[in-house]
Structure 1
Amino acid sequence: MAERDLVPPQTALEPFTGGKLFDTVFSRGMALVEETAAYLDGPGRDQSKALGREPGLTYAAWSMELTTRLMQAASWLVMQKAVRDGEMRREDAAARKYRIRRDTPALDTGSVEASGLPARFLDLVTKSEALFEQVCRLDEALYQPGQSSAANPVSEQMAALQKAAETGAFDPLMVWRRAK
């Protein structure tokens, strides 16, 4: 598939970037970047010095991962804003190198809650993971509509029912039996 094939129709991008949803995601994302940076450079730095060896290593590794994901999400949001404001062409923004997706599992704060990591740090990790996941879903919806990476059994069943209805062979039990 050529990169130009990934360019969404004009109507797909504009309602998102021109609407309140984008403004909200952008504002919250940038505020989270600032909040996280202030924490990691201030209280987080002091709190991390008091951690034991194991929690300290987790804190160091996770803070790097957290910063990386936040910067990726912020960069994507800034790029979408540039497209909206006419500072970047939509075709350029659709290039594969600007796509954002999750390549590694999300950081699981539940697995380390009892480890002594600061609660504020864990809260920022949770918020950052949620933002990153939201931006990944938005990227997929805007630039790769209909190409979800995960199979969705409900969508597959709905498509089968739709096809059966369109062909006049609507037998819900037949569709159900094939799905088994």
Structure 2
Amino acid sequence: MSELGLNTVSFAGRAASSSQFKALYTEGMTLVEETASYLDGTGRAASKVLPRMASVLYAAESMRLTTRLMQMASWLLLQRAVNNGEMSRDQVISEKSKVRLDGFNVDRTAPGWLDLPEGFRELVERSLRLQNRIALLDREIYRPGEPSVVPDNENSVRAQLSLLRTAFAH
């Protein structure tokens, strides 16, 4: 490694151990709790009166939502463990291979999507935005040299703007 490489600062690495990470961690764990509470209470009651197509979609999407949230919570807990010195970076990398931060997209054009309760759709949307932010941070920390995948029909500036919109969306 060159002298220049020894002085390189990893902004993503610093961000992962900063107050921004603590806020991201809190946001993630709060979303897990909110979702569990919704699915056990309001969501359970709302799902019982949905039309058949929306009811099937609700069941499928609630499983995807809980899986997505558990994967994100796992990543956040691993990152917190490395930040607190409870695990080495190598241990986290080994465990992190079991965590999946992609592949949980939602088809908002699926029959019955608009019949789903608004509160449920909002939880899904929030989880997708959080997933994108965590996946981006993961790439920056653990795979900094790996280029982001950009579809052939999309230029890199548009892709970066999309990532920024996702990261700062409410």
1:22 paired with 2:18, answer: no
- Partner residue, 2:124: 125
> CA RMSD of the aligned region, Å?
2.4
Q: Deviations over 1:111-151 (max 9, x none)?
A: 56863210000000000111111111111111001212414
AA in 2 matched with 1:67: T
What is the TM-score normalised by the length of structure 2?
A: 0.76
AA in 2 matched with 1:91: D
AA in 2 matched with 1:64: M
* Identity percentage of aligned residues: 38
Q: Deviations over 1:5-33 (max 9, x none)?
A: xxxx9953651232111011101010000
How far apart, CA to CA, are the structure 2 residues paired with 1:143 and 1:90?
9
Q: Does structure 1 retain, via aligned residues, the 8 Å contact 2:71–2:99?
A: no
* Higher fraction of helix: 1
How far apart, CA to CA, are the structure 2 residues paired with 1:144 and 1:103?
18
Aligned length: 146
- Partner residue, 1:176: none
What is the TM-score normalised by the length of structure 1?
A: 0.72
When Rg is computed on C-alpha atoms for both structures, the one with the higher figure is 1
How far apart, CA to CA, are the structure 2 residues paired with 1:56 and 1:15?
44
Distance 1:128 1:73, change over 3 A: same
- For structure 1, the 5+ residue unaligned runs are 1-8, 156-180
- For structure 2, the 5+ residue unaligned runs are 1-6, 158-170
